């Protein structure tokens, strides 16, 4: 976005292995690119192989290293196999960003079982599966950063998004609990709650709705995906070694 700040956080993650779900587009792609530019070797996870290849190509063209892993993030066996493959390739796993998510918005009276189950599976079950698999590795190596993407919808709710809001609120409770479980092993677990971010998903709302949304945001603009990536970089860095179980809201003041 033209009115977003141009200065970016600088973090050195050289020699670290990172894994990002939902890396094929939007916020996940921005996070994968940022981690790659910071020196991490990035495992890009999603279902769309073509889009994943595009993300990986951008990372490598910028001088970074990336691998592509097609995975259904709600499939337990597939998730474990993916994490095993990443660890086998790099010998370690330092950063996991659970970003994958979907929406199936509709009001509660007409929401179907499938609308509910699919959103909970993609948004919340995936976080459980990847965190469980990664935690075993990070506990052994006595280090690691797990960063879970929640949403302001998990803090305040949003009409038409009972499934999405429930999944994102669940991520917050899950994050705070797992942070307590893993703290003694020097593994931090934190959540980020983005507000309205300029992505394809937001663009689909149309200019009229976006203009109304901006009026609700004290900073009077949508966020930029790179601003969410900056928050991830900080939480992944050594500077955040004493921060765990926290919820970082990046929303331009909307929930202040």
Active site residues: 164
The neighbouring-strand residues paired with 74 are none
CB 154 within 8 A of CB 172: yes
Residue 236, by phi and psi: left (phi above 0), alpha (psi -120 to 50) or beta? alpha
And the tokens for 243?
């921060």
Cα 10 to the center of its chain, rounded Å? 19
Based on its alpha-carbon atoms, the radius of gyration of the chain, rounded to whole angstroms, reads 17
Tokens 């592509």, located at residue = 68
Q: What per-residue string of b and e applies to 54-91 under the rule 16 or more CB within 10 Å gives b?
A: bbbebbeeeebebbbbebbbbeeebbeebbeebbeebe
């Amino acid at each position: 976005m033209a009115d977003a700040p141009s200065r970016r956080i600088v973090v050195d993650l050289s020699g670290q292995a990172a894994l990002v779900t939902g890396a094929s587009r939007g916020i996940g792609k921005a996070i994968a690119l940022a981690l790659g530019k910071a020196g991490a070797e990035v495992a890009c996870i999603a279902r769309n192989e073509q889009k994943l290849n595009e993300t990986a190509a951008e990372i490598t063209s910028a001088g970074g290293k990336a691998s592509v892993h097609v995975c259904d993030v709600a499939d337990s066996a597939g998730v474990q196999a993916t994490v095993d493959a990443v660890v086998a390739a790099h010998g370690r796993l330092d950063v996991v960003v659970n970003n994958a998510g979907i929406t199936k918005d509709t009001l509660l009276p007409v929401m179907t079982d499938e609308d509910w189950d699919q959103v909970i599976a993609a948004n919340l079950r995936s976080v459980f599966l990847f965190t469980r698999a990664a935690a075993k590795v990070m506990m052994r190596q006595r280090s690691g950063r797990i960063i879970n993407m929640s949403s302001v919808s998990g803090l305040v709710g949003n009409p038409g998004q009972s499934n999405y809001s429930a999944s994102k609120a669940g991520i917050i409770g899950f994050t705070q609990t797992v942070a307590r479980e893993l703290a003694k092993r020097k593994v931090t677990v934190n959540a980020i709650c983005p507000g309205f971010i300029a992505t394809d998903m937001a663009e689909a709302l149309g200019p009229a709705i976006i203009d109304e949304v901006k009026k609700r945001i004290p900073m009077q603009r949508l966020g930029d995906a790179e601003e969410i990536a900056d928050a991830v970089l900080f939480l992944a860095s050594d500077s955040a070694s004493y921060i765990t179980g926290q919820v970082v809201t990046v929303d331009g003041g909307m929930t202040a």
